[in-house]
A and B are shown apart, each in its own frame.
With several copies, the nearest count.
Chain A
Amino acid sequence: MDFRLPAENDPRRAVVRKWLSEHPKPSGRQLAEAGYTVPHWPKPWGVAAEPELQFIIDEEMGRAGVMPPNLINPVAVNNCAQTLLSHGTDAQHERFLMPALACEEIWCMLFSEPAGGSDLAALRTTARRDGDHYVVKGQKTWTSLAHKAQIGVLIARTDTAAPKHAGLSAFLMDMKSPGVTVRPIIDLSGCKNEYNEVFLDDVRVPADRLLGKEGEGWRIATSQLQTERVALSKPGAIWGAGPSARDLVNGLAVSGHLSDPVVRDEAAKIFIEGELLRLLAYRALSDRMNAKPSGPEGAIRKMLAAPHGQHIVEMAKKVQGPRGMIAGEQPFPSQVGSGKGMFADWDYAFWFSPAVTLGVGTQEILKNIVAERTLGLPRENDPTAKLPWTEINRAKSA
């Protein structure tokens, strides 16, 4: 057992640094072609990097100021490219993979629907075969990056007579197709973040855009969500991004609040949680290094990380007093770091934070998953799981 992270003089760093010095502002395609976009993939796509090398690549890219491709095109790089590789045809690989990894085509995931909520498989968007096309009708919501995306991974119902999980299929849909309308969702902070509603009015999707087989949609979608859960559990308050517990403690120290015993004790609890979450994240990396199956561990970390993140930003907001209710007002002097991106704004991160226990599985669903998969508790009964989908709908409207 060894908790040390790869050292500064680790010889593996030299290779990465050399490449980055030769490519000071690498394009997405350069990164993808060098294998640094999905380093853990086998060649030619990646460099077959073991987790420590991945960690080194991430760190070195960060130092060189290179925006990581998995932040530019997260749905493609983190979630969907692997699925495309596993389930796609050769022609689909040829057409989609490199533009996705090179961040030349942004992807989005068309899964959640307004009526669905936690019951994702109950989705109502249909894809009806019509000659060599499918005709898609329905509405998606909470679609990250739909406003920037060229490609949408669509989950739609191709068989309405089958049980809800069985009737779904996945498609690689062109987001510029006629009939696709994207509307930003304004969250409670008043910001247009990256979420959208997507309206699908008789969108024609060529049949060769079917990903995998008809009926495999649920399996494809959920394997992607599981990847996402792991990716989302870093120590930053908002799904791994934004201020961390360390930032909070630094901020409270600089602003003089740590001398208040109540604040101090609360802050220490949050700091310890943050450190332990960091260790759990490293342990997950370590498990991958040791080729241990990952299991429901990502769900455990997200279950812990989401309220932890809320505590971080709530505590920062609380010490602001009434000034914290002024839009845009920050709790700490600007020298206190809080990462990059839109969640680096403490005030925005606070108002956004109710979402972290909602997005990508509510806290309730996560706790079910954790208890059922890790502890073997009985699964929540879903009386609609085996009904033909059409009958579920009839029961609801009755």
Chain B
Amino acid sequence: MNFLLDEDHLALKQSAAVFLDKEIVLDALLKPGASVDQANYRGNWEKIAAMGWTGITVPESYGGLGLSCVDVAMVLGEMGRTLAPSPFLGNLIGTWALLRLGTEEQKQRILPAVAAGTARLALAVGDAAGDVADHSRELGAERSAQGFLLKGARAFAIDAAGADWLIVDAHNAETGRRGFFLVDTKSDDLTVDIMNWRDLTRQVCDVRLNGCVGEELAPLTPADWAWVRDRILFALAAECAAGTQQILSMTAEYAKERVAFGKPIGSYQAIKHSLADMLGQAECANVAVLYAAWALSEEAPQASLAAAMAKAFAADAYVDCTHRSIQIFGAIGFTWEMKNHLYLKRAHANAELFGNSRAHRSRVIDLAQQAAA
């Protein structure tokens, strides 16, 4: 039993922190009228690729770093803390999907390029309502001479714009079941549009497939999708926990400096106790994410439970703490020129992506009951 991070983890976290503190500048987003176009997505991605993080979870046998979920938590935490705009998360999710769902041939063909930063992956599995369960038929796959023809749409696809390969799920007309397919985004029969997403630090995309060709991935078991989903939940939770900690730190600092009626506002109990509540949430979110990271790394039996708990708790904590942050900053925290709203929007967006907290809590009850049985 040892809940402390190893030296390696701390070193990775530290180097990510130093790198991101230096490279990530959000000022352009804080100018009135800014959109995600000002987020320097491409520039940041190039620098991240230079760090080798494009292949962070790609096994060494395919040329990647082959790091574990605990390592990923270190890097993703720092990205979440700095809101680093880049397709890191989308590529990571796509990589997990190909790793688990792809055939050996497909992995050998694509993962080395991903690891080298010359190709980018993304996953597109949401229907128009954002549901990622397997009953969505808004995208259908029919076998043809050229392979499967995909017709329909997917939405809320993180970092699909600019990706070289998309992995989509579709209703396979042949089997009557869900299947996963690999799509080359160079296809003319595919359009990807960046949604008018409130979280300006992230590109979330609509994907339309007008009969483009999809390559079937390996046959799917429910456990395969659960494996990918748990990692996505963990990744979003890791961003949330780190963002919660960051907004707490920013707000506590402000409360020490801002004076009202001759005293720092942090000396008033209403402010002080709200910050204590935020701290409690930040601590819990942090331990939830580390536990999920460890359980996923170990492929432990409680991995799904830990991932669901982490997403549900950390997302709610992030939403609550970013709201409190604005209340403590006061009116200035409500303006576009301050960073508070970027965190608030990231919090709300992460809370909604891949199932909201209530949905995951419902799963937690089921998973806990299974574990107890």
Contacts and interface: CB of A to CB of B under 8 A. Distances in A.
A contacts B: CB pair < 8 Å: yes
B261 A279 contact: no
A328 to B, nearest CB: 7
Contacts of B5: 1
A370 B276 contact: yes
Contacts of B270: 364, 367
Interface of A, secondary structure class, is helix
A219 interface: no
Given A354-B323, A377-B252, A117 B258 contact: yes
B272 A377 contact: yes
Interface stretch (A28-36, A155-163, A267-275): A267-275
Contacts of A375: 248, 252, 266, 275-276, 279
B27 interface: no
Given A262-B358, A322-B352, A2 B294 contact: yes
Interface stretch (A72-80, A98-106, A221-229, A355-363): A355-363
Contacts of B288: 272, 276, 279
A79 to B, nearest CB: 19
Contacts of B70: 1
Most chain B CB within 10 A, of A142, A290, A321, is at A321
Contacts of A317: 348
A301 B277 CA distance: 11
Contact of A355 (B204, B269, B280, B334): B334
B364 A382 contact: no
A267 B261 CA distance: 39
A355 B129 contact: no
Contacts of B344: 188, 354
Interface residues of B, number: 85
B332 A114 contact: yes
Contacts of A246: 368, 372
B336 A187 contact: yes
Interface string A255-268: 00010011011011
Interface in B119-152: 126, 128-131
B252 A327 contact: no
B1 A5 contact: yes
Interface stretch (B14-22, B77-85, B172-180, B193-201): B193-201
A186 interface: yes
Contact of A354 (B291, B334, B352): B334
A326 B263 contact: no
Nearest to B363: A268
A367 B272 contact: yes
A328 B280 contact: no
A16 interface: no
A285 interface: yes
Contact of B356 (A188, A253, A282, A321): A321
Contacts of A384: 261-262
A285 to B, nearest CB: 7
A362 B156 contact: no
Contacts of A327: 196-198
B12 interface: no
Contacts of A5: 1
B3 A325 contact: no
A272 B312 contact: yes
Nearest to B285: A276
Given A282-B3, A328-B196, A355 B331 contact: yes
B369 interface: yes
Given A272-B313, A324-B352, A377 B266 contact: yes
B235 interface: no
Q: How big is the A interface, by class?
A: 35 or more
A168 interface: no
Contacts of B276: 303, 366-368, 370-371, 375
Nearest to A276: B284
A396 interface: yes
A287 interface: yes
A357 B327 contact: yes
B290 interface: yes
Given A2-B2, A6-B1, A377-B267, A383 B262 contact: yes
B126 A358 contact: no
B279 A276 contact: no
Interface in B1-57: 1-6, 9, 32-33
A317 B348 CA distance: 10
Interface in B337-371: 337, 340-341, 344-345, 348-349, 352-353, 356, 358, 361-362, 364-365, 368-369
A8 B263 CA distance: 55
B259 interface: yes
A396 B372 CA distance: 57
Which of A1, A55, A292 gathers the greatest number of chain B CB atoms within 10 Å? A1
A25 interface: no
Given A186-B336, A272-B309, A368-B273, 6 more contacts: A1-B6, A185-B335, A190-B336, A264-B361, A268-B361, A286-B4
26 contacts: A2-B2, A117-B331, A119-B261, A188-B326, A190-B32, A192-B32, A267-B365, A268-B361, A268-B365, A272-B288, A275-B309, A277-B284, A285-B1, A287-B3, A290-B4, A317-B348, A321-B129, A323-B130, A325-B349, A327-B198, A358-B334, A367-B277, A375-B266, A377-B255, A377-B264, A385-B261
| Closest 7 pairs (CB-CB, A-B) | A322-B130, A268-B361, A188-B341, A384-B262, A286-B3, A378-B267, A367-B276
